[in-house]
Amino acid sequence: MLEIHSLPVLQDNYIHLLHDSVSKQTAVIDPALAEPVVQFLEKRQWQLTMILNTHHHYDHVGGNSELKRQTGCHVVASLVDQTRIPNVNQAVTDGDCVFLGDHCIHVMLTPGHTLGHCVYYVPTASALFCGDTVFAMGCGRLLEGSAEQLWASLQTIMALPKTTLLYCAHEYTQANARFALQREPGNQVLQDRALQVAELRQQGLPTIPTLLKDELATNPFFRVDSPEIRANLQLTQADQLTVFTALRLCKDNF
């Protein structure tokens, strides 16, 4: 059995931890900081065995060096990013698998936000650790890759089982909901979800993880075929990539 815990750090980051109760192995995804992870591990008397990095940005790898120094853990990152991420022991690419106990963690390359971005899919936990590729009701900015690359990456995620839990790396949900409502105000499921998100945030509670089926119903970047979104953008006859590109540009200026 895998336990999953999410630690809020910095202004809006999440560090996710996985613990296999059988092998006693523990992995951390995108440790922005070392100290919160160390404190969490000490409290539970767990030993860190692996770091999984989704991409090279500092708020995802800032804790690598200190955690490596203290624990000797194994650091996994994308082959594209192996020279941009500290202390990489294993460079992985699309289709690779790393193990936490008997649990296969599938590597999926998802370029767009960065060229080397990857996500980690754990079928036994119905969980996807998606870094900055996709957020609740949003997606990552195009900082290195193209809209075509990011749209292809999102389609890969959209094809996963609808019961998959998406563990995003940031708490951007409330702002994303405002943008989504601007583009698809007639979506009743979206309206209801925005209210639920507002209530959670008012109580200081996280909105992560999010279910893929909920994203398919409310995330505008997954809904490029929505007639309302297309009409809103005046792109009723455009192809999916054109609609996605226009949406991403609108979000950049939102």
What 115-118 contacts at long range (C-beta under 8 Å, 24+ apart), as own/partner pairs, is 115/80, 115/144, 115/145, 116/55, 116/56, 116/77, 116/78, 116/79, 116/80, 116/81, 116/84, 117/54, 117/55, 117/78, 117/145, 117/153, 118/54, 118/55, 118/77, 118/78, 118/92, 118/94
- Which residues form the catalytic set? 55, 57, 59-60, 113, 132, 170
Q: How confident is the model at residue 1 (pLDDT cuts 50, 70, 90)?
A: confident
User: Are 62 and 136 in the same domain?
Assistant: yes
User: Are 6 and 72 in the same domain?
Assistant: yes
User: Are 156 and 200 in the same domain?
Assistant: no
User: Are 91 and 183 in the same domain?
Assistant: no
- pLDDT value of residue 40: 97
Task: Report the candidate in 94, 208, 207 with the shortest Cα–Cα distance to residue 152.
Answer: 94
User: Are 145 and 186 in the same domain?
Assistant: no
Please tell me the total count of domains within the chain: 2
CA atoms within 13 A on the CB side of 207: 25
- pLDDT value of residue 218: 98
Residues of the domain holding 141: 2-168
HEC sequence for 138-170:
EECCCCCCCHHHHHHHHHHHHCCCCCCEEEECE
The last residue of one of the domains, among 168, 199, 227, is 168
pLDDT in tens, 75-132: 999 999 999 999 999 999 999 999 999 999 999 999 999 999 999 999 999 999 999 9
User: Are 119 and 55 in the same domain?
Assistant: yes
| Region 120-147 average pLDDT | 97
Task: Report the candidate in 227, 214, 223, 228 with the shortest Cα–Cα distance to residue 244.
Answer: 223
Are 47 and 41 spatial neighbours (Cβ–Cβ below 8 Å)?
Answer: yes
User: Are 178 and 155 in the same domain?
Assistant: no
pLDDT in tens, 183-229: 999 999 999 999 999 999 999 999 999 999 999 999 999 999 999 99
User: Are 144 and 60 in the same domain?
Assistant: yes
User: Are 105 and 189 in the same domain?
Assistant: no
The last residue of one of the domains, among 168, 203, 231, is 168
- Tell me, what CATH number does 128's domain have? 3.60.15.10
User: Are 229 and 111 in the same domain?
Assistant: no
Residue 52 φ then ψ, to 5°: -115, 115
pLDDT in tens, 14-52: 999 999 999 999 999 999 999 999 999 999 999 999 999
Q: In the structure encoding, which two tokens stand for residue 53, read together? A: 């990095």
Task: Report the candidate in 147, 118, 133 with the shortest Cα–Cα distance to residue 250.
Answer: 147
User: Are 118 and 188 in the same domain?
Assistant: no
Q: d(Cα 202, Cα 222) in Å, to the nearest integer?
A: 27
User: Are 85 and 25 in the same domain?
Assistant: yes
The last residue of one of the domains, among 151, 168, 185, is 168
